[in-house]
Homo-oligomer: A and B are copies of this chain.
Amino acid sequence: MTARNAFYAQSGGVTAVINATACGLIETARRHPDRIGKVLAGRDGILGALTEDLIDTSLESDADIARLKHTPGGAFGSCRYKLKSLDEHRAQYERLIQVFRAHDIGYFFYNGGNDSMDTAWKVSQLAETMGFPLVCVGIPKTVDNDLAVTDNCPGFGSVAKYVATSMREAGYDVASMARTSTKIFVLEVMGRHAGWITAACGLAAEAEGEPPHILLFPEIPFDPETFLARVQDCVSRYGYCTIAVSEGLHDADGRLIADMGSKDAFGHPQLGGVGQIVAQLIKDRLGYKYHWALADYLQRSARHIASRTDLEQAYAVGVKAVELALAGRNGVMPAIQRLADVPYAWEIAVAELSQVANVEKKMPREFISPDGFHITPACRRYLQPLIEGEAFPPFRSGLPDYVRLQNQPVEKKLEAFSV
């Protein structure tokens, strides 16, 4: 059997540990030179395959590949680009096969979330119908933790650790100042459809009265009056109130709270995220001074406070993806399977891409307290192991020492293709 090349692409929003997956994949591929030639990475994700912008990872040293394990972001570039159905965009799928054929690619690894698993699944079918020998393996990644089948998603545990740490730290700050200054603190976090990241903030509260006091989930329609009553109760009890809110918070009619601001003089939607809208509501109605923070990209790139569990799982799915490919398993995805909560035990199982694609895993209702404002013990049992362990990157000159790869291009062999 001759060695064929592998294609690897990162897709969608990047995470603190997606490069650890790349590291696991490349390091494992390098241990099988008889089966796998070069790992060619797509520059800026699947776009790189379409435009034949391939990166030759074999030119990177073992040491630099190892450094991927502690480097956030997407080392080869990622993209938000969803291939449509085969009917609509057959030319794009055919182009992929054309590029793969030109570069002798026998393995297709696609590292992403829901959309990407859908793409990987389609490619896996196409390869079969087009008679091109290709093994397609999806690799899970998403801070949103909303992929089906897998118990959790690589990338989520580190965001969870970051937001819970940040919430705890800000809580200590606000508690110090509440008597004469800010009584309300709101942290806005990611998760447009699923409240996993918001839920993770709740891990910071280990005892009655500890921050965060209120969580606002996208799964629970926002009712201002119930919310304000809870805020007032908090301030009365503890002297202050800290809140984590999902960017996807909406009302009973499904309208995003973030979109409810008025327009400015130029017709622009009013600036400010849902965090500020909620905080301003408190100020308007209860009169309390507020501060708010918007973690935005900081939360998903915070490699400096990554979860060791998350890191190990991110690396493991990269390793397993290669093993599955070498075993000829087309159309599958390594999935994390939980064996026990305490002590936490997990292994990498195998999921069919057809079962994963386009299914969004929301927070189960039993993970949210009956009043809708916090997490339940069951949720805590689920989340707790995912943030366990530290995995600090090396530091140089006081800052995390992250790698920048050379990312040297593979020579093009085909005509240009416009996407």
Contacts and interface: CB of A to CB of B under 8 A. Distances in A.
Contacts of A75: 176
Contacts of A170: 296-298, 301
Tell me how many chains of this kind the complex includes. 2
B264 A297 contact: no
Contacts of A268: 280, 284
A304 B176 CA distance: 18
B180 A47 contact: yes
Contacts of A185: 297
A337 interface: no
A61 interface: no
A377 interface: no
A14 B173 contact: yes
A399 B180 contact: no
Interface stretch (A92-100, A269-277, A319-327, A366-374): A269-277
A195 interface: no
A77 interface: yes
A302 interface: yes
Contacts of A284: 266, 268
Contacts of A16: 169
A346 to B, nearest CB: 15
Contacts of A44: 179-180
A402 interface: yes
Contact of A400 (B168, B206, B395, B399): B168
9 contacts: A73-B175, A77-B177, A78-B177, A80-B181, A261-B271, A272-B276, A387-B397, A388-B397, A392-B392
Interface of A: 10, 13-14, 16, 44-45, 47, 71-75, 77-81, 161, 164-166, 168-177, 179-181, 185, 187, 203-204, 206, 261-262, 264-266, 268, 270-272, 276-277, 280, 284, 291-298, 300-305, 307, 384, 387-390, 392, 395, 397-400, 402
Q: Across the A-B interface, give the 9 residue pairs with the lowest CB-CB distance, nearest first.
A: A271-B272, A73-B172, A74-B176, A387-B398, A293-B296, A169-B301, A173-B301, A79-B180, A294-B294
